[in-house]
Chains A and B, each alone.
Chain A
Amino acid sequence: MIAPFEDVVIRTACRLLIPFIQLYGLYVIAHGAESPGGGFQGGVILGASFILLSLAYNADEVRKRVSEKRNLIFCSVGLFIYSGIGAVCLALGGNYLNYSRLHHLLPVDPVYARALGIFGIEVGVGMTVMAVMLSIFLDLASKHEDEGEMTSLGMDR
């Protein structure tokens, strides 16, 4: 359980830093093909920026910005971007994840379409990873007032 730590220095520093951290996360996602980086790494950095916000303020501050519903939508949409690009390549006639087929849709030649396809995949992966990291942290840090139905104790006799 994270107790809110009200310190002006920490709050100001975090508020200043978090946009730059997110920008760096986006840079890492986009440069996966050329330097160390990629979808998972950038997604973790993006998720870490939200976790930093939650540490500086409290978890409700983050929930105001990214509610649980929006988190789940991010997670699913990221996966759909990934599988969707693959399925589009399937529908355009190639095998699954054969990005060179995307040259039918985008005005580039097949070799460059492969690079763009990878970039699209990384964006999808980054979204999903960010959403999952955030949701793991929020689940662990929350107070669990509502037990919900999905706990044990005498469910399936």
Chain B
Amino acid sequence: MEWIVSKYNYWIYILLMMIGFYAMIGKKNLVKKVIGMNIFQTSIILYFISIGSKKGATIPIAEHGLGGPIQAIQYINPIPHVLMLTAIVVMVSTFGVAMALLIMIYRRYQTIEEDEILKLRR
């Protein structure tokens, strides 16, 4: 029982990832597939952020005026946050390219349903 409750962040990210994955492969509309891809990437961002947290720690911003060296145990790990900034940029760029591709596909086939496109392509 403990391995469900104490590791709830992993369960949530796996659930989100599978929802996104199902949307990518199970839905026929191409826009829904792109949204599924977005959910998939967002779940990984959630996972990275969640592994940086510590019990009883505060946000990793150093206050001015507090003397002495910084004790790392009081702040949550900022490295996953920094890595995920880059991952968010990648996610947005992929989304932009996906939208541009969808516009090209729509202009050519006048539809965004995958089965109709496959029929038109034969």
User: Contact partner of B96 among A35, A136, A144, CB < 8 A?
Assistant: A136
The secondary structure that dominates the B interface is helix
B57: Cβ under 8 A from any A Cβ: no
The count of A-to-B residue pairs whose CB atoms sit within 8 angstroms is 28
In this assembly, does B108 line the interface, its C-beta being within 8 Å of a C-beta of chain A?
yes
Contacting B at CB under 8 A, from A137-157, are: 139-140, 144, 147, 151-153
Q: Which residue of B lies closest to A129 (CB)?
A: B89
Interface size grouping (class) on chain A? 10 to 19
Cross-chain contact of B108 among A132, A144, A152 (Cβ < 8 A)? A152
- B85 touches A (CB below 8 Å): yes
CB pair A153–B108 under 8 Å, yes or no, is yes
Question: How far does the alpha carbon of A151 sit from the alpha carbon of B100 in the complex, in Å?
Answer: 11
- How far, in Å, is B12 (CB) from chain A's closest CB? 23
Q: How far is the CB of B39 from chain A (nearest CB, A)?
A: 20
Interface: B99 (CB within 8 A)? yes
Does the CB pair B88–A40 fall under 8 Å?
Answer: yes
Tell me, rounded to whole Å, the shortest Cβ–Cβ distance linking A35 to chain B: 6
Residues of A within 8 A of B107 (CB): 144, 147, 151
Partner pick for B61 among A34, A132, A151, CB 8 A cutoff: A34
Within 8 A of B (CB), among A18-63: 34-36, 38, 40-41
Q: What are the interface flags for B90-122 relative to A under an 8 Å C-beta threshold, 1 for contact and 0 otherwise?
A: 000100100110011001100000000000000
- By beta carbon, the residue of chain A nearest B100 is A139
Instruction: Give CA–CA (A136, B91) in the complex, Å.
Output: 14
Please name all residues of chain B whose beta carbon is closer than 8 Å to the beta carbon of A38 when the two chains form the complex. Answer: 85
27 contacts between A and B (CB under 8 A): A34-B61, A35-B61, A36-B61, A38-B85, A40-B85, A40-B88, A40-B89, A41-B85, A129-B89, A132-B96, A136-B96, A136-B99, A136-B100, A139-B100, A139-B103, A140-B99, A140-B100, A140-B103, A144-B103, A144-B107, A147-B107, A151-B104, A151-B107, A151-B108, A152-B104, A152-B108, A153-B108
